[in-house]
Amino acid sequence: MSGTGEMIPPLVERIKATLVGLKMPRALEIVDTTVRRLERGELSALEAVDALLSEELSLRESRRVKTALVMARLSTIKTLSSFDFAFQPSLDRTRILALAELGFVDRCEVLHFLGPPGTGKSHLAVALGVEAVKAGRSVYFTTLADLVGTLARAEREGTLREKIRSFCRPALLIVDEIGYLPVVPGGGNLFFQLVNARYERGAMILTSNRGFAEWGEVFGDPVVATALLDRLLHHAVVVQIEGSSYRLRQHTALMPEHIRSKAALQAPPLAPPPRRRGRPPKNGGAHLGIA
């Protein structure tokens, strides 16, 4: 500062050069405004430094989150604030917000969202994934069909072990749409290998329109389904959503009565998993050393 209270111009230029060298574009952008506020007595010296650093940190955090969301494949962003809890009264809003504190991720638990199509399962799964990214957790989102396809391709190419390891790296793995599409032959076994590898080592969020008692049909093998549920329900949180499709709410009056009644199907019943009758086939993980 000079005797008149004005910042010496060469000093401002040196600060700008330093900010360029430190790669602090946001601080560089606001330095002139901050200096003027400082000269007018609107900020103290410490407040001016804090303003520059806070703005830069905010920009970097925004970039980190944006990059992490892309890496997580969460390109379609859903948030808890945009979820219409009033439309789904079966949901306990307090419970969902408690899940957003991410304790289940730290405990490596599995969170299940069960319910008919259109009731908000994927929205909630993605929203919790976004919260995890913001909190600095690594996240990966995929559908069951894409996941099984990727694992099947890796198996054909002899890289299954490496691919399973890559899916074990994220702190939270979100697998959407279990039960929507038929699983390819052997797909249940591949999914079991991944679930077994993540068991008690990483959290998962699963969404399904099918009750647990139907998973033998979903995966085409009751033995594999039993082994899956044995692990997926051991440390689990189950949220069952009942009600009509959120996506069809604006068109209900235009729908024929017989279709309207189908749109209001109740969520699949929660049934206990079938009694475990043995391990999956020998080609289902033994070569990876997975018990």
Domain borders along the chain are: 9-70, 72-288
* pLDDT tens profile 20-66: 999 999 999 999 999 999 999 999 999 999 999 999 999 999 999 89
Compute the radius of gyration of the chain from its Cα atoms: 26
The pTM score is 0.76
* pLDDT tens profile 181-193: 989 999 999 999 9
Q: How many helices (H) and strands (E) does the chain have?
A: 12, 5
The pLDDT score that the predictor gives to residue 290 is 37
CA dihedral 205, 210, 211, 215 (to 10 degrees): -90
| Distances from the Cα of 33 to the Cα of 8, 28, 38, 62, 223, angstroms | 15, 10, 9, 22, 67
The pLDDT score that the predictor gives to residue 247 is 52
Hey, CA dihedral for 174, 177, 179, 182, is it positive or negative? Answer: negative
Backbone angles phi, psi at 82, to 5 degrees: -95, 0
* pLDDT tens profile 101-128: 999 999 999 999 999 998 999 999 999 9
Q: What percent of the chain has pLDDT over 90?
A: 72
Q: In what order do the strands lie in the sheet with 172-178?
A: 139-143, 172-178, 203-208, 110-114, 236-240
| Higher-scoring residue by pLDDT: 278, 125 | 125
CATH number of this structure's domain 72-288, picked from the four choices 3.40.640.10, 3.40.50.1390, 1.10.760.10, 3.40.50.300: 3.40.50.300
- Mean per-residue pLDDT over the chain, rounded: 85
